Amino acid sequence: MKSIFPYAPLLAIASVALAKTESVTLDIVNAQIAPDGFVRSGVTANGIYPGPLISANKGDRLVVKVNNKLTDHTMRRSVAMDFDGVFVDTASIYDEGTDFVTACPLGPNMSYTYELPLGTQTGTFWYHSQLGVQYVDGLRGPMVIYDPQDPYRHLYDVDDSSTIVQLGDWWQNTSTSLLAGYEATGVVPISDSGTVNGVGRYQGGPEVPWPVLNVVHGKRYRFRVINQSARNIFTISFDKHDFTIIEADGELVKPFTTDELLILAGQRYSIVLNANQKIANYWFNAPFVGGVPARNLHQNATLTRAILRYAGAPKRDPMAPMTLGPLNGTGGTVEHLLAPLVPEAPGESAVNLTFQLSVVAGQAVWQMNNISYLPPETPTLVKILDGANTTADFNATENTFILPANSVIQVDFPPSEDDESHPFHLHGNNFWVIKSNSSDVVNTVNPIKRDTVAVGAAGTTIRFRTDQPMPAFFHCHIFWHKQAGLASVMASGLDDIRAEVHPDAEWENLCAAYNVLPEDEQ
């Protein structure tokens, strides 16, 4: 059994033919944590924020045992784990982890083992609680699937745990109290701070030591950048350094060099930085936007940063001022400029869906085509296994679409009137970005694939294939909006699901155990 270590090994060189089972354990516990210097109780994996790195190689089978040891009644005590961006074969979709879609949550003092065959996937992923807005309390961490035969291996020298950059938004109050305020006012909570690898500062707070990204002059580093926020959009840059994008959400892209990069909640990028500047300390800038700062005077966008420290440089802050990034930078919006390493034609769509997003004024209610998603008491997968075949077999508030198997589905998001870029995420699959919210260009020739995309003022079009039979949750990754109903389920291959999915007793016990829990343990 392989444990989760604080430092992962360098990129593995073993052949995929040596694929093995990687077994890890996550103890979900309440712990006193202080990412920005303010101490509070949190919900954590193994007692730390962010949680420990989970890593494996291409083709491995990942086995994750989750032990729910939560005891703090001021926060949710059940949990539902999601491994964001990881595909799951049909036979294993009951381990996909989406509460009330593929399973019931895991109650306190219970354990559950997720088994994830990783197949041919590689890249940068993450895990988090999918239940309510629980990951706001800290339950989020990195996950990397390394490729021993990475076609871009010649572009970088270092790719290990030290080159993982986790961006997060942090609240000093618990998610349950924040959610109560949101439901009463319709105003999404404004974070107190932003964090880089679990460390941040807030206006007027203590000067918590900056996190450090260590480099050696002359070496090239593959930084895997993950936006683990529940709302905030970060724009990253390094003082006096450009970098090259090579991956977006687990999909390789043609190398694209820029000086800034905008990253929405749930998105991940791999970037290569050449440590070729003078030996010194440089700022890594990660300012964010996420609501009106005046609603939380703790918020100061310039305080989300780290130090890029060259070996041999003094252990002190950079001499340069703290800025929001390059004075004449690109602004970071580059998605529409990216191209896939291996172009793939999306194909013509067999089904066209249009989703209009709207919010009920003054309420914490978001809608897709006038429907606000509500999790059902009986999970979607259970209903399918019990014979559900049509949309009429699901509650209207489940917003479930029955799609043909082995087909191309197009989803159009018309331009939105609200001022947010909603990061829409599809579980268990990825999609072609036919039209990015960052451009008016429609690309059906060589669009990139990813699993989280901005939906906003300019409009967005995506296409995906339903080759993998499953009920796939499709939702906004601003988790406050997801909780307020901005979600749906894309279900396909229902007969195949019934033929191939045979859940074990451990899974079947989840709902029976959860349904008898008192409210304060759910």
- What confidence category does residue 419 fall into, taking pLDDT thresholds of 50, 70 and 90? confident
For residues 247 and 179, state if they share a domain.
yes
Q: What is the distance between the alpha carbons of residues 307 and 315, in angstroms, rounded to a whole number?
A: 10
- Give percent above pLDDT 90 in the chain: 93
The stretch 146-161 carries a mean pLDDT of 98
Q: What is the DSSP letter of 319?
A: S
| 521 domain residue, yes or no | no
For residues 292 and 317, state if they share a domain.
yes
Per the CB < 8 A criterion, the answer to whether 127 and 159 are in contact is: no
For residues 181 and 275, state if they share a domain.
yes
Q: For 137, how many CA atoms within 13 A lie in the half-sphere containing its CB?
A: 33
Residue where a domain stops, chosen among 151, 173, 196: 151
For residues 237 and 133, state if they share a domain.
no
pLDDT for position 391: 94
The stretch 56-77 carries a mean pLDDT of 97
340 strand-pairing partners: 253
For residues 121 and 205, state if they share a domain.
no
Give SS3 for 16. helix
The stretch 391-408 carries a mean pLDDT of 97
Tens of pLDDT along 94-143?
A: 999 999 999 999 999 999 999 999 999 999 999 999 999 999 999 999 99
Single-letter amino acid, residue 519: E
Indicate whether 304 pLDDT > 50: yes
pLDDT for position 153: 98
Token reading at 315: 């252990």
Sign of CA dihedral 333, 249, 307, 52: positive
Indicate whether 11 pLDDT > 50: no
Per the CB < 8 A criterion, the answer to whether 437 and 456 are in contact is: yes
| 6 domain residue, yes or no | no
Indicate whether 16 pLDDT > 70: no
Tens of pLDDT along 222-269?
A: 999 999 999 999 999 999 999 999 999 999 999 999 999 999 999 999
Sheet architecture: strand order including 449-450: 351-354, 408-413, 460-465, 431-435, 449-450
Q: What is the distance between the alpha carbons of residues 292 and 315, in angstroms, rounded to a whole number?
A: 35
pTM of the predicted protein model: 0.95
Beta strand 460-465 pairing with 408-413 = antiparallel
Q: What is the distance between the alpha carbons of residues 226 and 125, in angstroms, rounded to a whole number?
A: 8
Tens of pLDDT along 449-468?
A: 999 999 999 999 999 999 99
pLDDT for position 403: 97
Strand ranges in 176-311 using DSSP code E only, listed in sequence order: 193-196, 199-200, 212-215, 220-227, 233-238, 243-248, 251-258, 261-263, 268-274, 281-285, 288-289, 305-310
- What confidence category does residue 1 fall into, taking pLDDT thresholds of 50, 70 and 90? very low
For residues 208 and 172, state if they share a domain.
yes
Q: Which residue has the tokens 């996550």?
A: 26
| 7 domain residue, yes or no | no
CATH of residue 72: 2.60.40.420
Indicate whether 12 pLDDT > 70: no
Closest by alpha carbon to 290, among 198, 194, 367, 226? 194
The better pLDDT of the pair 3, 356 is held by 356
Q: What is the distance between the alpha carbons of residues 383 and 95, in angstroms, rounded to a whole number?
A: 16
For residues 320 and 415, state if they share a domain.
no
Tens of pLDDT along 273-303?
A: 999 999 999 999 999 999 888 899 999 999 9
| 55 domain residue, yes or no | yes
Number of domains in the chain: 3
Boundaries of domain holding 189: 164-337
State how far the alpha carbon of 71 is from the alpha carbons of 41, 55, 226, in Å: 11, 28, 29
Q: What is the distance between the alpha carbons of residues 118 and 115, in angstroms, rounded to a whole number?
A: 9
| 428 domain residue, yes or no | yes
State how far the alpha carbon of 385 is from the alpha carbons of 478, 490, 495, in Å: 30, 16, 9
Indicate whether 159 pLDDT > 80: yes
- Give percent above pLDDT 70 in the chain: 97
Indicate whether 17 pLDDT > 80: no
| 363 domain residue, yes or no | yes
Q: What is the distance between the alpha carbons of residues 458 and 463, in angstroms, rounded to a whole number?
A: 17
For residues 121 and 178, state if they share a domain.
no
| 171 domain residue, yes or no | yes
The stretch 432-444 carries a mean pLDDT of 96
Per the CB < 8 A criterion, the answer to whether 365 and 485 are in contact is: yes
For residues 267 and 137, state if they share a domain.
no
For residues 317 and 205, state if they share a domain.
yes
Closest by alpha carbon to 168, among 144, 143, 204, 192? 192
Q: Which residue has the tokens 């109650």?
A: 107
| 312 domain residue, yes or no | yes
Phi-psi sector, 471: left (phi>0), alpha (psi -120 to 50), beta: beta
Residue where a domain stops, chosen among 87, 117, 151: 151
- What confidence category does residue 362 fall into, taking pLDDT thresholds of 50, 70 and 90? confident
For residues 376 and 409, state if they share a domain.
yes
Tens of pLDDT along 18-60?
A: 679 999 999 999 999 999 999 999 999 999 999 999 999 999 9
Indicate whether 2 pLDDT > 80: no
Q: What is the DSSP letter of 438?
A: T
Tens of pLDDT along 483-497?
A: 999 999 999 999 999
- What confidence category does residue 330 fall into, taking pLDDT thresholds of 50, 70 and 90? confident
Residue where a domain stops, chosen among 125, 151, 177: 151
For residues 373 and 329, state if they share a domain.
no
